[in-house]
Amino acid sequence: MIATKLKGQITRDRRLVVRIPRDMATGAVEIIVLHLSAQPARRRARRRSTHPAFGIWAKRSDITDTALFAAQLRQRVETRADERKIRNVRHA
């Protein structure tokens, strides 16, 4: 396999335009596209309210700050996972 760096453009109609040097052999190629611009491709935003887990804590009176509750829950889960890894290393 021979690698050759070429520059080109992607047009508005989603075509790749590249100038191929005359000395390049003909045949099948594989193309990897590296975007030089800092702007990512536009994506349509997904509404969070459509996610199945949206609102699962809405009726819980014991949770007053959902952001804090979620952060503490993540911390507990991460800590438990780390503790399990440490215990498994000790038993090995």
Tens digit of each residue's pLDDT (9 = 90 or more) over 26-43: 999 888 888 777 666 666
Tens digit of each residue's pLDDT (9 = 90 or more) over 45-76: 677 778 788 888 788 888 888 888 888 888 88
What residues are paired with 16 via a beta bridge?
Answer: 10
Instruction: Assess contact for 55 and 70: CB atoms under 8 A.
Output: no
Q: What is the mean pLDDT of residues 5-11?
A: 89
Q: How many structural domains are present in the chain?
A: 1
Domain-embedded: residue 71: yes
The Cα–Cα gap between 12 and 6 comes to 20
The residue that leads in pLDDT, 2 or 89, is 2
Torsion of CA 74, 81, 62, 60, to 10 degrees: 70
DSSP 3-26: -----EEE-TTS-EEEPPPTTSPP
- pLDDT category at 90 given cuts 50, 70, 90 is low
**Range of the structural domain that residue 59 is part of:** 53-91
Q: What is the mean pLDDT of residues 9-18?
A: 90
Domain-embedded: residue 83: yes
Domain-embedded: residue 2: no
Domain-embedded: residue 23: no
